[in-house]
Structure 1
Amino acid sequence: MPPRRSLTRDRVLKAAIEVADRGGVEAMTMRRVAQHLGVEAMSLYHHVPNKDAILDGVVDAVFAAIELPGTETGDWRDAIRARASSAREVLSRHSWALGLMDSRRNPGPATLRHHDAVLGVLRRAGFTLPMAVHAVSLIDSYIGGFVLQESNLPLSEDVPGVADDILGNLPRDEFPYLAEVITGHAQRPGYDHTKEFAYGLDLILEGLEARRK
């Protein structure tokens, strides 16, 4: 029988993330995390003092997984676009984190580094301080909202099937514009609802560029 791996803070946080990925943030109890690791709950307290410390740690781990915007000179929109795409990818895997990321009162080093890097891109691009704050709020609200919407949509696996089902029960005379969207857009060959993210992000970035100075 192979020896049991020693418990560390990183292992505890990794296990907590895996528990939340399966059952949501409400499942992330000390007992559940300990069960996932195959240890007694009391063993966790040698590495994390309480559940709040776990929540702080997993939020910081999620931020650490998101690509930082590049610091090299270039179009600020490219840097923010890459960061937004990475954030969407990471948060799609850990959508439970959306309700935690702005609620923690003890941000970790990865969280601080991330926010500072994003603000740095905007400030170096010429955004005033208030406009940089507006931009971060707008972009992050968009990312979070899109991920939340995407995680609850039944369209991700069978867009044509869902569209057919809705259309089959839709009185077209009563809802002509909804019918038009389904037949003239959602049912068109090659339609991919996930591309809406890039389109909406570009609109936001273009609007911010117009107000940059």
Structure 2
Amino acid sequence: MAARRARGQRAGLTRQAVLEAALRLVDREGMAALSMRRLGDELGVEAMTVYHHVPNKSALLDGMIEQVVAEAVPPEFGAATWREDLGAYAHALIAALGAHPNAVPLLLSRAAMTPRNLGTMEAVVGMLHEAGFRLPRTLDILYSLTSFVVGHAAAQAGDVDGAGSFASLDAEAYPLLVGAAREAGEDTADARFDFALDALLSGFEGELGDARASS
């Protein structure tokens, strides 16, 4: 642990460094371990020093969500087709959430309206609108996609594996569930994610076709 600094000394810290340290702490010990005092210990400073960079616990939590989402943002939306962009974003987001499973409940419990997150959402909406989606529908697409990805990540973080659970049921009582699960085999989470994502994207594509036909 770094030597503790004097109270109020900023020690060259930045908001980014504070958020990264908070995420490391949560990755290692879970959300219950997160406090300004523990975060100060992680950084080797007094807790009050942390408040120079995040004004309160709520701002800290929003910043942590921002950190996770930032790991999933591609260099540029609109560089490929809208479907490729959304697919790449979904895969990058599920990978980022998989790297920080203890932070997944944060994304389920709060909408982090930080400038950086809002900028990402603005870029997605702009890319979709440029592709031909009606402006209100772009928000529906963004909500549907992120809800699906975060929900899948929450199931994975909670070790909720429907197929695996079904495979252990009484085969006489539930022959179809058991048969389907056993035929699917193990390690089906990625395949289920890809299947559901493709279905979502195909549905969005159909919506785009309807919008173009009515214009």
TM-score computed with the length of structure 1 as normaliser: 0.80
Query: Displacement, 1:74?
Result: 4.2
Is 1:152 the equivalent of 2:151?
Answer: no
| Aligned pair partner of 2:89 in 70, 83, 94 | 83
Identity level (%): 32
In the aligned structure 2, how far is the partner of 1:3 from the partner of 1:36? 10
Query: Displacement, 1:31?
Result: 1.2
Give the partner amino acid of 1:78. Answer: E
- Tell me the equivalent position of 2:183: 184
- Tell me the equivalent position of 1:53: 59
Quote the RMSD (CA, aligned, Å).
Answer: 2.7
Distance 1:45 1:132, change over 3 A: closer
* Contact 2:97–2:103 (Cα < 8 Å) also in 1: yes
Equivalences for 1:30-69 in 2 at 5 Å?
30-68=36-74
- Tell me the equivalent position of 2:192: 196
How many aligned positions are there? 200
- Tell me the equivalent position of 2:8: none
In the aligned structure 2, how far is the partner of 1:104 from the partner of 1:75? 27
* Contact 2:167–2:177 (Cα < 8 Å) also in 1: no
Q: Which runs of 5+ in 1 are unaligned?
A: none
* Contact 2:3–2:44 (Cα < 8 Å) also in 1: no
In the aligned structure 2, how far is the partner of 1:91 from the partner of 1:53? 20
TM-score computed with the length of structure 2 as normaliser: 0.80
In the aligned structure 1, how far is the partner of 2:145 from the partner of 2:160? 25
Query: Displacement, 1:3?
Result: 8.2
Q: Which runs of 5+ in 2 are unaligned?
A: 5-10
Give the partner amino acid of 2:184. Answer: H
In the aligned structure 2, how far is the partner of 1:7 from the partner of 1:207? 46
In the aligned structure 2, how far is the partner of 1:94 from the partner of 1:193? 17
3-state SS of paired residue (1:181) = helix
Equivalences for 1:1-213 in 2 at 5 Å?
6-68=12-74, 70-72=76-78, 74-101=80-107, 103-104=110-111, 107-153=113-159, 167=168, 170-186=169-185, 192-212=188-208, 213=211
Alignment deviations for residues 161-207 of structure 1 (CA, whole Å, 9 cap, x no partner) = x67x953xx322111112202332226xxx64322111110100101
Query: Displacement, 1:95?
Result: 3.3
In the aligned structure 2, how far is the partner of 1:47 from the partner of 1:74? 37
Query: Displacement, 1:93?
Result: 1.7
Query: Displacement, 1:140?
Result: 0.9
Deviates more, 1:92-101 or 1:138-147: 92-101
Query: Displacement, 1:76?
Result: 1.0
Deviates more, 1:10-19 or 1:139-148: 10-19
